[in-house]
Structure 1
Amino acid sequence: MSNLKSGTLLGHPKGLFLLFGTELWERFSYYAMRAILVLYLTDKTINGGLGWSTQDALNLYGIYTGLVYITPLIGGWIADNFLGQRRSIIIGGILMALGQFTLALPNSMVDPHSVTAFYLGLGLLIIGNGMFKPNISTMVGDLYQEGDNRRDGAFTIFYMGINLGSLLAGIIAGTASAAYGWKAGFLTAGIGMLISLVTQMVFAERLLGDIGKVPAAKRAAAMNKSGKQEPLTKQERDRLKVIMIMGLFVVIFWAGFEQAGGLMNIFSQQYTDRMIGSFEVPAAWFQSLNPFFVITLAPIIASIWVKMGPKEPSSPIKFAMGLFFLAAGFLCMIGAVMQQGGDITVKTSMMWLVGAYFFHTLGELCLSPIGLSMVTKLAPLRLASLMMGAWFGFNAIANYVAGIVGAQVGEAGPMAIFSGIAIAATIAGVLLLLCSNQLIRWMHGAEGKVVEDDVAEAQPVEA
């Protein structure tokens, strides 16, 4: 399904950079809205907020983010069986743009229609995201043939676009909201989604060719001589087992990583010395460290994977590395707590937080884009987008677990939480290393790697 007619750029198909730009502006739209959602809900001033309680706002936020990660399951299935990826992301993009502009409609705290329009906007965003999110990632994988060692690097570059959009979103939407009110922030999110749509619609035909046009199930049926949908083969079932097992480790990673927006955010606000001379660094600025590190480190990591060639680690090994880096980040947070010496009035160095975010980002780059790439390698063609949706479902579970873990800080204390996550991540990394050979066997050469004592078995399967 690779499209070579458009040529290459930096060693990758030019279509990759179109998908990079499309995803960048879609993620800008998403994170711009997310950055101001709770603030808008709880604002009781003339800026145009809805005046909700903090508890109600956070409850809605949790429901919204959970649905955002669940609906890609449905959107992936629809794309695989009926619409194809290209048509799905256009429909999803239109729905999300409509959702953002609906949120930008003028409102009043006492006008019941304002709340109705607000829920309508959220609903459009949730449905649109479900159509868009799994399919744009699947199309990145379709640019490369099976066994192409550029794929992991491609997803790392693609992942950089996600984080560049995130970095821009907080700055632009936050500035617009502060200057012109919350509705201006939602308006900028809608404009970002329009840019994403226009970029895709103008350049897709030239740079992507036929990629994403035909539903995966129809392509799989056409490749089958009988023309009928056959049951999953042993190889396909084995590969699906790898996706499911690796998904369990993904839950562990993100449950720890997502403390950045909760427990670590509170720690930066209450217990960190944020003074540089006479200037106090806003606690919210630490949230920009992760996308900043992703943008600066992603090209380096991508080039390392490509240069390693046949010696490039397999996905299970990269995942284990990601878990070890997560543990290293929480060792930094343990250092911060130890600096307090049991006295919560003591402010700790902000360098502990910088170190934690640095190691967490290294872990993210070893796991998140690699996971997206892995799903496109292992998922059967007719289930490609559905399995990408399932992969995002693991993120939904992780976000829920992260909330439960972070909420225990009042009873257990930050030291117990940080050390517990570090220990859990280390144990999970070791277990993954021990399982890696079996997981590679079940991949049946999808990454060009075969365990030595399994060569005889693997070769006939690939024949």
Structure 2
Amino acid sequence: MQDQKPKPPAAAGEMLGHPKGLYLLFGTEMWERLSYYGMRGIFVLYLTSAATAAVFGWEQLSDKDLQDKALSYLGWYAMLVYLTPVAGGWIADNVWGQRRCIIVGGLLMMLGQFALGFPHSWLPDGTEIYFLWLGLALMIVGNGFFKPNISTMVGDLYDEGDKRRDTAFTIFYMGINIGSILGYLVVGWIGEKINYQLGFTIAGIGMLLGVILQLLKSQHYLGDIGQKPAARLGLKKSAVDKHKPLTPEERDRIKVILILGLFTVVFWTGFEQAAGSMNLFAKYNTDLHIFGFEIPASWLQMVNPLFIIILAPIMASLWVGLGDREPDSPTKFSMGLVFLGLGFVSMCGAALQIGDSETIKASPWWLVVAYIFHTVGELCLSPIGLSMVTKLSPLRYMSLMMGLWFAFIGIANKGAAEIGKLVGENGPLETFGGVALAAIVAGILLFFLRNKLVDWMHGAEEVHTEVKPTTKEEIGITADHEGTPPRHFSGD
């Protein structure tokens, strides 16, 4: 007999119309994102600082070469962080299950942050660079175990066709961005104003808190979810069934994931300029005095997660309130790409303000406007993408497909680093203008492909289960909480 999909324990209850396990995953992801984004916010600034260059023997490099080296390190790190989830997803599907992978991944990332934060003065001369490589390697492997599996577990909290799933991923995405804000705020301040390596150590402590939370509360709120490898739950009638070929419908749905994955690469190649070229532009070409206070350059990246927290409930309410008029996933993706392009139009304004001058600084408000446009684009694309993967993937390949989705983002991160280097060669106006044009054109192209992609989804975005009175009440509570009136239903 086929195994039943695990469900959260009934005794755990619900909160605001969702299983309480959602908020446990929210909290675990929040601490992990504090660790990741805190480190990311100061990483290129750390590598381009005079003190770090002297320790690593890079002091003979020009400013441009030093920035290119820092972007290369960031690009390789960020790409591998998103590629290793393919292996981590496979291990979760077939060997360990999601929960064990999350714990192992969290511990490895914690150790990686501590390796980056290990004081240079405590190390023999010439060995400092090895701790940099060790720290990055541990965080890359740890992310591979962690990243695909916690997102998959959010989807596992809900039955197929449950209308709360998109809203759940948006709530989960708010946890990601609360962690991002705390990371930029705390780690960014400590790193830029006190000591970069102390900032990495604080990021490691944040990851430790996420692991402790998961260890203490997961059994009560998640029950058996994530305990067994998903492949054992999908098909267990016979050994032959485990190797059953994909059906035509499953193949079509996977094609949708792959095609939208290509457009995802375009989006994140532009979006991830935030940690690289836009971060360096903020540090060296932007007037960082706001209301008479000089802020750390990394704080400008905080605009994105701050506005996600502000806008995420509004966007979720908008999708719920539109009902049958809600745009399909490909349309939302195309909107995200256009908004990304508009953000880079604002960056072109910043580039025009400074011109060729080495003394004129751009207003920080150009970057603020750019990050707001990027935020709207992200909300149209990223949480919808996570939800779409859980809808379209065959159960026995769920974590693997989630890992593949993150691999697309990894390729984009490497591309982002290479494009970021063009700022030093061609100038910010030409580079940012090219990214704006590419994003808007890609968004328009995807809009014209949307109907075919919806056909290949074979109704995955439609309701597959009867909407019962209890479900109506839960959706109403959720919508109410997000600032929109409860939806009304006719009949059971």
Does residue 432 of the first structure (1) align with residue 438 of the second (2)? Answer: no
User: C-alpha separation between the residues in 1 aligned to 2:222 and 2:104?
Assistant: 18
* Partner residue, 1:255: 269
Does residue 383 of the first structure (1) align with residue 389 of the second (2)? Answer: no
* Partner residue, 2:172: 158
Aligned counterpart for 1:127 among listed residues 121, 141, 145: 141
Output the aligned Cα RMSD: 2.9
Contact in 1 for aligned 2:188/2:298 (Cα 8 Å): no
Deviation per residue, 1:4-62 (Å, 9 max, x gap): 62332222221111101000101112223333444555556599965645355443333
Aligned counterpart for 2:98 among listed residues 69, 85, 96: 85
User: C-alpha separation between the residues in 2 aligned to 1:447 and 1:367?
Assistant: 15
Aligned pair in 2 of structure 1 residues 10, 379: CA closer, same or farther (>3 Å)?
A: same
Aligned counterpart for 1:286 among listed residues 286, 291, 300: 300
User: C-alpha separation between the residues in 1 aligned to 2:388 and 2:261?
Assistant: 11
Aligned pair in 2 of structure 1 residues 335, 97: CA closer, same or farther (>3 Å)?
A: closer
Aligned pair in 2 of structure 1 residues 413, 447: CA closer, same or farther (>3 Å)?
A: same
* Partner residue, 1:460: none
Does residue 328 of the first structure (1) align with residue 334 of the second (2)? Answer: no
* Partner residue, 2:113: 100
* Partner residue, 2:20: 14
Does residue 148 of the first structure (1) align with residue 154 of the second (2)? Answer: no
Deviation per residue, 1:60-94 (Å, 9 max, x gap): 33322221111111101111111111111112122
* Partner residue, 1:459: none
Aligned counterpart for 2:75 among listed residues 62, 70, 80: 62
User: C-alpha separation between the residues in 2 aligned to 1:123 and 1:51?
Assistant: 21
Q: CA deviation at 1:207?
A: 1.2
Aligned pair in 2 of structure 1 residues 143, 339: CA closer, same or farther (>3 Å)?
A: same
| Equivalent residue runs for 1:226-245 within 5 Å | 227-245=241-259
Aligned pair in 2 of structure 1 residues 429, 83: CA closer, same or farther (>3 Å)?
A: same
Q: CA deviation at 1:151?
A: 1.6
Contact in 1 for aligned 2:42/2:298 (Cα 8 Å): no
Contact in 2 for aligned 1:42/1:50 (Cα 8 Å): no
Aligned pair in 2 of structure 1 residues 310, 65: CA closer, same or farther (>3 Å)?
A: same
Q: CA deviation at 1:249?
A: 0.6
TM-score by length of 2: 0.83
Aligned counterpart for 2:8 among listed residues 3, 16, 28: 3
Does residue 317 of the first structure (1) align with residue 331 of the second (2)? Answer: yes
Aligned pair in 2 of structure 1 residues 336, 232: CA closer, same or farther (>3 Å)?
A: same
Aligned pair in 2 of structure 1 residues 165, 241: CA closer, same or farther (>3 Å)?
A: same
Aligned pair in 2 of structure 1 residues 386, 420: CA closer, same or farther (>3 Å)?
A: same
User: C-alpha separation between the residues in 2 aligned to 1:78 and 1:277?
Assistant: 50
Aligned pair in 2 of structure 1 residues 106, 84: CA closer, same or farther (>3 Å)?
A: same
Secondary structure of the equivalent of 2:38?
helix
Does residue 361 of the first structure (1) align with residue 367 of the second (2)? Answer: no
Contact in 1 for aligned 2:188/2:299 (Cα 8 Å): no
Contact in 2 for aligned 1:43/1:49 (Cα 8 Å): no
Deviation per residue, 1:271-301 (Å, 9 max, x gap): 5455456545554332221121112212222
- For 2:154, the aligned partner's letter is V
User: C-alpha separation between the residues in 1 aligned to 2:143 and 2:322?
Assistant: 35
Contact in 2 for aligned 1:104/1:184 (Cα 8 Å): yes
Q: CA deviation at 1:443?
A: 0.8
* Partner residue, 1:192: 206
User: C-alpha separation between the residues in 2 aligned to 1:58 and 1:24?
Assistant: 26
Any gaps of 5 or more consecutive residues in structure 1? 451-463
Q: CA deviation at 1:106?
A: 4.2
Larger deviation: 276-285 or 350-359?
276-285
User: C-alpha separation between the residues in 1 aligned to 2:361 and 2:130?
Assistant: 44
**Aligned-residue identity in percent:** 56
Any gaps of 5 or more consecutive residues in structure 2? 60-65, 465-492
Contact in 2 for aligned 1:43/1:51 (Cα 8 Å): no
Q: CA deviation at 1:449?
A: 7.7
Q: CA deviation at 1:405?
A: 2.5
| Equivalent residue runs for 1:438-457 within 5 Å | 438-448=452-462
Q: CA deviation at 1:397?
A: 1.5
Contact in 1 for aligned 2:269/2:415 (Cα 8 Å): yes
User: C-alpha separation between the residues in 2 aligned to 1:342 and 1:190?
Assistant: 40
Contact in 1 for aligned 2:188/2:296 (Cα 8 Å): no
Contact in 2 for aligned 1:150/1:306 (Cα 8 Å): no
* Partner residue, 1:402: 416
Aligned pair in 2 of structure 1 residues 436, 122: CA closer, same or farther (>3 Å)?
A: same
Deviation per residue, 1:126-176 (Å, 9 max, x gap): 211100111001111111222222222211211121121121112222444
* Partner residue, 1:305: 319
Larger deviation: 15-24 or 326-335?
326-335
Secondary structure of the equivalent of 1:3?
coil
Secondary structure of the equivalent of 1:408?
helix
Aligned pair in 2 of structure 1 residues 51, 21: CA closer, same or farther (>3 Å)?
A: farther
User: C-alpha separation between the residues in 1 aligned to 2:217 and 2:46?
Assistant: 36
How many correspondences in the alignment?
Answer: 450
User: C-alpha separation between the residues in 1 aligned to 2:51 and 2:421?
Assistant: 29
